[in-house]
Amino acid sequence: MADIRYHGPLILCLVLSVAGCSGSLPRFTSENPAAPNEIPLLEGEASYYGDEFIGRQTSNGEIYDPNALTAAHRSLPFNTRVRVTNLENGKSVIVRINDRGPWKPQRILDLSPSAARELGMLRAGTARVKIEILN
């Protein structure tokens, strides 16, 4: 049997690290049933798809259409409709999530070129946006 004095510090570190993590996790209770549906980051940088994706299959199996009002998000369920507002000019558009991404860590949404046009961000390529979940 191993000596507890040898493993004691290791066990203490493990217990403290687990206890430290639990305080930062969201608490979902019966008084707060909507909490699991909350997305932690609702504002951030959005970009839009390049032409090289035209005709390719999206993560939900659709063929990518640059004229559709669609977007890629890392975790929102497919077919979720969201209102995206460009925080720089106030323009907004409603898009449907049909793909996964973006893969650059600092970005929260990849938009179709049609949606980016509605937001007035084609020239800049990216924009700071707010995402509101509609369904």
pLDDT of residue 5: 52
What superfamily in CATH does domain 36-133 come from? RlpA-like domain (2.40.40.10)
β-pair type (126-133, 43-48): antiparallel
54 to 57, 76, 90, 92, 112: CA distances (angstroms):
9, 22, 28, 24, 10
| Residue for token pair 């909350």 | 38
pLDDT in tens, 15-71: 334 334 333 333 333 333 344 455 445 899 999 998 889 999 999 999 999 999 999
pLDDT in tens, 95-116: 999 999 999 999 999 999 999 9
Give me the phi and psi of 118, to 5 degrees please.
-60, -35
Residue 129 is inside which H or E element, if any? Answer: strand 126-133
Which sequence spans correspond to the domains of the chain?
A: 36-133
Q: What is the largest CA-CA distance in the chain?
A: 68
pTM here? Answer: 0.69
